[in-house]
């Protein structure tokens, strides 16, 4: 009963924040709320599954202009393999035996302009997902993802790089993801020329 009331109030709060601030991708209020309430940093322009409470672990940081599909799950700890049992009784306070969570939960940093497809699983061994990378739908990511890499599969493997190295260097040097929506739209042609190899 209490859980249903909490979820209802939560949905009303989110609806109000989104409605009052244009859209989830650019709402400063929504970002402040997620940082304060859930310790999840969501960059400017980032939208989608990053706002799914329960699927995204506390301490996760998303860069700017990321596209996160539904069903993405980010795990920050595994059951311990080096103990006599893998059962959570001895490491998770939910079970009532220990007072605090006993396993290390490393934080995940997701770069800028990252696209994570639907139902991706990111395991605790992953610390960094690089700028401009793409993770195919349904992938299980067990290693860090390099910048501008396209990865897919179980376990996820590098399929290709999005651009040649010289194009990646030029894109990175612009740091376009630090621009606001208006600046980005005004300078769209400059970035497109970089991709096409024009000066």
Torsion angle, alpha carbons of 133, 44, 75, 156, to 10: -10
How many other C-beta atoms lie within 10 A of the C-beta of residue 175?
11
79 is a catalytic site residue:
yes
CA atoms of 88 and 98, how far apart (whole Å): 10
What b/e string do you get for 130-166 counting C-beta neighbours within 10 Å, with b at 16 or more?
bbbbbbbeebbbeeebbbbbbbbeeebeeeebbbeee
The number of residues in the chain equals 199
H-helix segments, the chain: 2-20, 28-38, 165-174, 181-186, 188-196
Contacts 24+ apart (CB under 8 A), 99-103: 101/77, 103/77, 103/78
Active-site residue among 58, 79, 107, 160?
Answer: 79
DSSP 167: H
The set of catalytic residues is 79
């Amino acid at each position: 009963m209490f859980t249903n009331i909490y979820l209802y109030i939560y949905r009303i709060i989110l609806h109000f924040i989104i409605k009052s601030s244009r859209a989830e991708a650019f709402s400063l209020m929504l970002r402040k709320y997620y940082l304060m309430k859930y310790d999840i940093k969501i960059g400017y322009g980032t939208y989608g599954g990053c706002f799914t409470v329960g699927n995204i672990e506390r301490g996760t940081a998303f860069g700017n202009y990321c596209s996160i599909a539904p069903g993405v799950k980010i795990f920050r700890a595994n059951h311990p393999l080096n103990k006599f049992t893998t059962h959570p009784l001895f490491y998770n306070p939910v079970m009532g035996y220990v007072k605090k969570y006993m396993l290390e939960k490393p934080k995940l940093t997701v770069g800028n302009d990252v696209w994570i497809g639907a139902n991706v699983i990111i395991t605790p061994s992953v610390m960094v997902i690089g700028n401009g990378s793409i993770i195919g739908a349904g992938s299980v990511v067990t290693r860090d993802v390099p910048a501008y890499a396209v990865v897919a599969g179980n376990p996820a493997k590098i399929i290709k790089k999005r651009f040649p190295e010289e194009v990646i260097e030029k894109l990175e040097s612009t740091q376009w993801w630090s621009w606001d929506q208006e600046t980005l739209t005004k300078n769209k042609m400059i970035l497109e020329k970089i991709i096409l190899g024009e000066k």
